[in-house]
Amino acid sequence: MKNAVILKSFQNGISIYLDETTPFENLIQEIALKFKESSKFFGEAKMALSIEGRVVNKEEEMQILRAIHQNSSVEIVCLVGKDEEKNKELFCALEAWKSGKAEEYGGQFYRGTLKNHQILETESSIVVVGDVCQGAAVISTKDIIILGALYGEAYAGGNGEKEHFVVALEMAPEKLKIGDFKYKTKYHKSRWALKPKAQPKIAYVKNNDVVMESITKDLLDDLY
């Protein structure tokens, strides 16, 4: 079972490469062993996790997360792809959100792309692992984090509170609202429009206006 499981780190995260031909129960044993042996090295780090090499279902994802949790002090914040440049920027927002609003976090994730006319509504904060396409909407009474592009609509702080935010890897919403404050969209997207440069951004309320800014550590420090 040599090299059936390979761990590789990226900025603020770790990738697990799984052999396609090895039985899954053997992979779980190998994952448990590797994280147990590396527990002192990782410490109590908060990390994003990328699973590569083979397709796993949700139950298998849970078994992998359970093996990591039981054999180390690593805290997996979310499951993501391996785009290091995007992940390392967005992870700052995830970490700030998780540590600063721990009492609100309900562990709610939606994996998949929301397409035209699809609406995702929740009374907790939510992480969307996918895109929100034009014509789709995400509605949350708390915070929204999109590990993908926001081309549709997003409504955070649906309970009327303005101390919430929306984060996305690519930010070009049709409509965006936080609490009772609306963001004034600066351009209209069409099927022929050029996509904006991919850059993680955060939208939040400042001086009773919704502002949208690139994610930086200094900005997050000011917010939290």
Rounded distance between C-alpha atoms, residue 51 and residue 82, angstroms: 8
Per-residue pLDDT of the chain (224 residues; tens, 9 = 90+): 468 999 887 666 788 999 999 999 999 999 999 999 988 888 887 777 888 889 888 788 889 988 998 999 887 766 665 454 445 445 545 554 455 443 444 447 787 889 999 999 988 888 887 899 999 999 999 889 887 889 999 999 988 888 889 988 888 999 999 999 998 765 444 444 445 455 678 899 988 899 988 876 555 556 55
Query: What residue has token string 């009374």?
Result: 123
- In this prediction, residue 41 carries a pLDDT of 84
From residue 40, how far is each of 7, 14, 73, 74, 219 by CA, in Å? Answer: 15, 15, 9, 10, 32
Helix ranges restricted to H, the chain: 24-37, 39-42, 58-71, 84-100, 217-223
**Is the overall model pTM greater than 0.75, yes or no?**
no
Q: What is the model's pLDDT at position 194?
A: 47
Which pLDDT score, from 0 to 100, does residue 192 have? 41
pLDDT of residue 11: 60
| CA–CA distance, 106 with 32 (Å, rounded to integer) | 26
How confident is the model at residue 218, as a pLDDT?
Answer: 58
